[in-house]
Structure 1
């Protein structure tokens, strides 16, 4: 029996549908994002990167957000028109989410993935949820063709190593996690099974339970790992290859991104849309930007003390010494405000 925690009528305030698919009748593969205003730029380029590298694949994109300006509307509609695709933007009422746990790095927008899962219940078989700091550089046909077994609720990509899994298994009191712990930035959801198992309802109830909240450090990602033990299919790391651009500051950089990588997940505070993030690993993002309505938009400058500090470090790494000195001066100025 299907169970949803979120009802469209209670959480979706309005919808903008940019449909430029023309006469195409093929069943589209649905990709969805749940974001706040800080990730709209990244989301637009992420969509562009998928379209750029997967011509001929019928795709449909859904963006769930609580902020969308007239300029955002113009850009996303232009993107749909440029690639002859469909982009649906749903404006979310966040009141039901604001009482859930959040941190500086994990806002209530992280819970939009539950709204997404419930929104599509009864409408389609599967939906690919992606974080907006993901760029595509290869074919996703393998995901389009993937068929779930009767027991599988989602397809996921492992995070960390066996030591990390063991630590998560102990701290979350979930022994099964010793066999694998996944990153929830990539989540191919078996919509019917997700609804049948009431995953969104169970997750939200757990996030309201003080006993559970006292254990978790990665909010809904931890909760999803606890709920999906033995019910998730692990797919190749090429579909969620994580790399922090701040790793570039180390003496020796081990970059897992290679020609086989499909999705690059830019974890950490420095994103490829930041002006100080000009490294080869940012190429997939920057190339997609050049083939999108954001082509002429500047990369983002530092907006707070933390960003100025990272910008200064990266400028020195890049031998841009004047910019580095300026970055540290701005860092100290913002820090004393």
Structure 2
């Protein structure tokens, strides 16, 4: 299973040599989530559900969807499906290297400090976490988006326009990225749009 904001950059050959060793799935550790509210799990084995390599024979008699829904309904999870999956399989997961689920937040490129993980020659799957995705029209300034551009150019959707911001969070992000890349007038315009949209959204609540 792959989240829709993941793109394959490298070969899967090394993944196919991994053994399940009796586990239900393989995944990558997620150290960014506060697991204190998720009872009964080992935080060191808490995995991100963006990439999951399932051992299907072990799941053939398991109604996974109903189990996850049941756990979500019974608890107040901050990351509903991910927390539920961890409760179900935290003791039966094999943790893989981060190259199979390399979290990358495009928005950090417009901030000091950069991202916690880098895209390297070893990266297999890039997971574009955060508000800004590579298919947004304000994400096209960065080399880290080139992998998406190549895939898009070779796809049936190459002529479909990139997405413009619609929510106030997206308008804010576009303003930030425009400013970071020297487009000050555009940044100002989208900041004003952000303020208006945020006011209108909060007024409706």
Corresponding position: 1:322 with 2:185: yes
Corresponding position: 1:335 with 2:198: yes
The residue aligned with 1:136 is 8
Deviation at 1:290, TM superposition (A): 1.3
Q: SS at 1:296's partner residue?
A: coil
Corresponding position: 1:224 with 2:90: no
The residue aligned with 1:182 is 47
Q: Work out whether residues 10 and 123 of structure 2, in 8 Å CA contact, stay in contact via their aligned partners in 1.
A: yes
Q: SS at 2:175's partner residue?
A: helix
Gaps of 5+ in 1: 1-128
Of 112, 115, 119, the residue aligned with 1:251 is 112
The residue aligned with 1:267 is 129
Q: What RMSD, in angstroms, separates the aligned Cα atoms of the two structures? A: 1.9
Q: Work out whether residues 276 and 315 of structure 1, in 8 Å CA contact, stay in contact via their aligned partners in 2.
A: yes
Go from structure 1 to structure 2 and tell me whether the alpha carbon gap of 1:333 and 1:232 turns closer, same or farther (over 3 Å shift). same
For 2:130 and 2:173, the matched residues in 1 are separated by 11
Deviation at 1:198, TM superposition (A): 4.5
Between Structure 1 and Structure 2, which shows a larger proportion of strand residues?
Answer: 1
TM-score, with structure 2 as normaliser: 0.88
Corresponding position: 1:159 with 2:30: yes
For 2:91 and 2:192, the matched residues in 1 are separated by 51
For 1:179 and 1:333, the matched residues in 2 are separated by 43
TM-score, with structure 1 as normaliser: 0.55
The residue aligned with 1:294 is 157
Deviation at 1:324, TM superposition (A): 0.6
Structure 1 stretch 280-289 or stretch 297-306: which is displaced more?
297-306
Q: Work out whether residues 153 and 194 of structure 1, in 8 Å CA contact, stay in contact via their aligned partners in 2.
A: yes
Q: Work out whether residues 29 and 44 of structure 2, in 8 Å CA contact, stay in contact via their aligned partners in 1.
A: no
The residue aligned with 1:201 is 66
- Total equivalences in the alignment: 198
Go from structure 1 to structure 2 and tell me whether the alpha carbon gap of 1:199 and 1:293 turns closer, same or farther (over 3 Å shift). closer
The residue aligned with 2:39 is 173
For 2:163 and 2:72, the matched residues in 1 are separated by 34
Q: Work out whether residues 45 and 93 of structure 2, in 8 Å CA contact, stay in contact via their aligned partners in 1.
A: no
For 1:153 and 1:200, the matched residues in 2 are separated by 15
